[in-house]
Amino acid sequence: MDIILLLKVIWRKKWILLVVPIIAGGAAYFFMRNTVNLYLSAAQISTGFTTNDQVQLTDEKFSAREIDVKFSNLLNSMNSGIATNLVSYRLLLHDIDGKEEPFHRPSAEKLKNTNPREIPILVEFLKRKLLEISPLSTSDPEYKLVHKYFLAYGYGYSTVKQYLSIARDQNTDFIKVSFISDNANLSALAANSFCEEFIRYYKSFKTERTGESVEFLRQLVEEKRADLDEKLETQKIFKSDNGLMDIQQDGGQLASLEGQRDDIRTKIHRLELTRTRLSDELKSLGGSTSNNTTNANAGNQRIIYLRERINRLNEQYITGGSSNQVLLDSLNKLRGQLNEQMDAASAQLTTTPNSGMSPAELRSKLKDADIEYQVEKSNLVLVEAKIQNLQYIHAGHASKEAKLTAIQKEVDLTSQEYLSAVEKYNESKNRLLASNSLRQTIVAIPPAGPESSKKMLIVGLAAFSSMAICFFIIVGMELLDLSIKTFDKFKRVVNLPLAGTINKVESKNFNIRHAFSPAGSNDDTEMYKSLLRKLRHEIENMNSKVILFTSPKKKDGKTFVIFSLAYVLSLINKRVLIIDTNFKNNSLSQILAKPQGEIKVIEGKKSLLIGAHGQKKRVDEDGDAENEYGSDNTYDLINPTKYKNIYVIGNGGGDSESPAEILSGRNFNNLIEVLSESFDYILMEGASLNDYSDTKELVRYADKVVAVFSAESSIKQMDKESITYFKSLVNKFGGSVLNKVETKDMKL
């Protein structure tokens, strides 16, 4: 659509765009004029879901998804209705107990069915419901009484729910509870009451539900503890009955005795070396050194023995899980002895046999070494006997150790179950603590002033929205309107040369003489006359006498255009003959016939005489009347009309034959040539081109073809085929007439 044309259409309908918003704004102001002031008060609840400011028994962590689920569950609980019922109780108690000034004072009409003696019953019932945290139910005996007062004071569930708002502050741990009403103190009390009652309900519900789990897990822990004690007692009795109580201590004692044995052997070896050295020194005083080789061999044997002993104990230590501290200490001692033995062997190779003592002193030392050597030998025998005894005892306990191991596994399994139960018990206690994390962090206070009433905003919005709706309706209607109602749309859609346009006038009871008289002048008729004169000018410039008028569709206005054109041509003294060749609809014949005359019309293969009273008489093809009428000749078909210089050749109408069939054998070309000599213009009408072939059969008799289009119609597929035919006429096509154009559209 042309933007300029659309803007012109919108501008033409500017009064609609102005009047409708004014009416809508006025209506909005009328309905909003008695709106009361509203007061908003808000409180805040901390959930504790995203903070850890309480003692935690377990290191519990939450993901963002878990936190969102917790908030969703909490908000659903807050909107479930129980807390709203409790708020309704408290608000009604505030207004009826008489301790404080009531927020609402119901009218006498609302309280006409109430009885002051009902107040104590109502107060007691509401307090009991608050204490029990119980919603109002239709099964309650005082339901009707409470419901009646709720309606009177305006504290019903639906009313409180309507003005209550609950939402989470985005990305925080807080939930905002706000209430809006016509009283500032009422809003604050309602918001605080909701927070207090919901926290009380939530704690009660969570404590009851979570407490059941905690109690169950506590009993489970006690049962598992009793099972563990029973298993440990069984293990203890088995050890006591089978002499296995000190088996671990015996193992440590065995390792200790083995360590003592090694120490004694080390001392014996040292004494042997000492005795050998003293003997060597005594001999050296006598000049003999033959015993050095013997001492070196004894030292090497000792080193080999210590290494074997260390390897054996080390293997035993590793096999036992590297956890026996006694074996580890024995290993460390043996490694120290090995180092000492290796140092002594190295020193023996480098020291001199002469110590500088006298032979008497050397003999004394040698005797002391011999005595100590014998003592250590006795100790070695005693220790080895004890070791053998303990090894025998351990060998007898092998089968009992297997049974003890099975009992130990049962003890370990029971211990694990006990520890798992304890862990779950601790988690439940932690959840019990977490369930009490809700607390009110901000107390609602009465607001200083009312909320913005937004009256002017609503009025403006009503006006703007109505204007926008009107605008879109106008634009939508224009976009959906596919009719060729203006010259620009006709040129764009039809693309045929335009000979003229005729505005729409009321054709019913239309009097063309009155329209062309000064008394009948108005805007529409003046434009009608001007457009007809322009069309007359275009017709005169065609330099053609015989003009065929047709249209793609029925009721496009061919008859009215032909009649109007004939009239304006007659005004300049042009003799006009109208041949009504529209055999499907003879409107021209009916319009132009004299009321009291008799006209001769063409019908089928015969001519038809129509009398003043509608009497019809046929004339045969040879020209002989069936009764009293004479021969048929060319000028007998011409009928004068009531308009000066306008004549008509009519037809009977409703004929099923085509013009080619009706006019065959009549030499219609010769008739046109003869009539052209007597008339300035011959105007013919053809039936609609979309429906009939009449126009195509009449084209050969015409000098020019003029197509009449209605501005009220849209172009469809069959119309496009007719337009293509008009274009195929080339020079014979005289142009188009756009009929029924709205006068207001002519001014766009």
Q: Which pair of structure tokens corresponds to residue 316?
A: 């035993």
> Which value, in Å, is the radius of gyration of the alpha carbons in the chain?
64
Q: Determine the Cα–Cα distance for residues 317 and 396; give it in Å rounded to an integer.
A: 22
Tokens representing residue 747 in the block: 């001014």
Per-residue model confidence (pLDDT) at position 624: 41
Determine the pLDDT at residue 550. Answer: 94
| Rounded distance between C-alpha atoms, residue 303 and residue 296, angstroms | 11
Output the furthest CA–CA distance in the chain (Å, rounded): 203
Give me the pLDDT at residue 536, please. Answer: 93
Per DSSP, which regions of 467-564 are E strands?
A: 498-503, 546-550
- Tell which phi-psi region holds residue 599, choosing left (phi > 0), alpha (psi between -120 and 50) or beta: beta
pLDDT at 399: 59
Structure tokens at 146: 């409470």
- Sign of the four-CA dihedral 308, 311, 317, 321: negative
pLDDT averaged per 10 residues, the chain (length 748): 72 85 88 80 87 53 76 87 89 86 81 79 89 87 88 89 90 90 91 91 70 67 80 73 54 72 83 82 60 54 75 70 71 77 60 59 78 81 78 59 74 82 73 68 88 79 89 82 82 90 81 80 84 93 92 90 93 92 83 65 53 43 38 68 89 73 75 88 91 89 93 89 92 92 76
The pLDDT, as a whole number, for residue 631 is: 34
Q: Look up residue 566 and give its amino acid.
A: A
Q: What is the pLDDT of residue 733?
A: 93
Reading the block at residue 694, the tokens are: 């009449």
pLDDT for the residue 734: 92
Per-residue pLDDT at 294: 52
Can you spell out the DSSP letters for 657-696?
Answer: S-HHHHHTTS-HHHHHHHHHTT-SEEEEE---TTT-SHHH
Task: Give the whole-angstrom CA distance, residue 273 versus residue 256.
Answer: 26
State which amino acid sits at residue 284: S
Q: Which residue type does 613 have? A: H
With contact defined as beta carbons under 8 Å apart, do 110 and 151 qualify? yes
CA–CA separation, 125 and 114 (whole Å): 16
In 413-470 the beta strands, taken as DSSP E runs, fall at: 439-442
Instruction: Fill in the DSSP letter of residue 556.
Output: S
